[in-house]
Amino acid sequence: MNRLAHAAVVALTSAGAMLTGPVLAQDYPVKPVRIVVPFPPGGNTDIMARLIGGQLSEFWGQRFIIENRPGGDSIIGAVAVAHAPPDGYALLLAGDAVVTMNQYLHKNLPYDPFKDFAPITMVGRSTTVVSVDAKTGPKTMRELVERARANPGRLTFGTATLTAQLAGETLKRLAGIDMVHVPYKGAAPAVQALLANEVSFLIDGLPAALPHVRAGRLRMLATTGSLVPSMPELRTISEAAGLPPFDASSWQGFFAPSGTPAAVVDKLRAGIERVLIIPEMRAKFLDNGVTINVSASADEFSALIRRDAERRARAIKEAGIGAQ
């Protein structure tokens, strides 16, 4: 009887464990959810988080709170989520560098990109652009490259993300030019630096620079990868400067702490997809240079991350960027 009783307890316990995930997902969310953004307010990722979070709040009747945790190449924000309870109430919306580049650029990374996160879904691919001062900057991308060649080591380029830095370093290698990289903690301070002529040009996402372009203070010369449907006059760096082709575009995606129930992850992915099929949302994303691309499943997203990590590792090595 003791053996039978023990077997029954084990069976019931196992059944309860299997039911925990679906039951949690059925009720989820029952309290406010944090979306951690590893950048200051005003950049592309922050805008995406606020648009998606607002709609999810309406869908599920719970607040989705945006928490900006900038600094350390997105490491501060990533660690905040990696070490959070795996219950779906702390999410990370970040660029691909968090899981595809940081491990190659930081010797003592305080998280494991493949073990510490439960990938939820990619949200979209975003466009990074080259911007200059409208009055003093070059008129074309080709002219910018010519200036750099004529003044080795004197031009500076600002960035707010590792992806943008990689684009700049790749440009240096392909064009055979010497420039100085200046990193910033977010898109807003990077744009302010360009407006103050602290850097020669900026490589960053579309949203932060666009208001100043429309006001006539900045000029966009090219994109680092994908084109902007609303700005057909913008060509890629390769096309505009007559260089070999390269693609330094990036993507943004949602992550939860590792161990978050699969049913909760699936519910979040479905909710995000529901947000992004709204025509008004798609239009807003396109205006910010983002092409929506939701993963079919968490497994598909995980596979993409590993492929892109290998691709980024090769690009980092070719660009000669060393680990810190």
pLDDT digits (tens, 9 = 90+) for 28-87: 999 999 999 999 888 889 999 999 999 999 999 999 999 999 989 999 999 999 999 999
Section 14-36 average pLDDT: 74
Please list the residues that pair with 65 across neighbouring strands.
34
Q: Where are the beta strands (DSSP E) in the chain?
A: 33-37, 64-68, 90-95, 117-126, 128-133, 156-159, 180-183, 201-205, 218-223, 250-257, 290-292
For residue 14, is pLDDT > 60? no
Q: Does residue 97 sit in helix, strand or coil?
A: helix
- The pTM for the full model equals 0.85
Identify the CATH assignment for 128-241 out of 3.90.1140.10, 3.40.50.620, 3.40.190.10, 3.40.1350.10: 3.40.190.10
The string of pLDDT tens digits covering residues 280-307 is 999 888 887 788 989 889 999 999 999 9
Q: Is the pLDDT of residue 15 over 60?
A: no
pLDDT at 324: 67
Whole-number CA gyration radius for the chain: 22
- Domain residue spans of the chain: 32-125+250-319, 128-241
Instruction: Determine the pLDDT at residue 212.
Output: 94
Tokens linked to 50: 């606020």
User: The dihedral of CA 107, 109, 112, 118: what is its sign?
Assistant: negative
Instruction: Tell me if the bond preceding 229 is cis, omega within 30° of 0.
Output: no
Question: Torsion angle of alpha carbons 107, 111, 116, 121, nearest 10°?
Answer: -80
Task: Give pLDDT, residue 322.
Answer: 73
Q: Report the candidate in 254, 7, 226 with the shortest Cα–Cα distance to residue 119.
A: 254
pLDDT tens track for 218-261: 999 999 877 777 788 889 999 999 999 887 778 999 999 999 99
CATH topology of domain 32-125+250-319: D-Maltodextrin-Binding Protein; domain 2 (3.40.190)
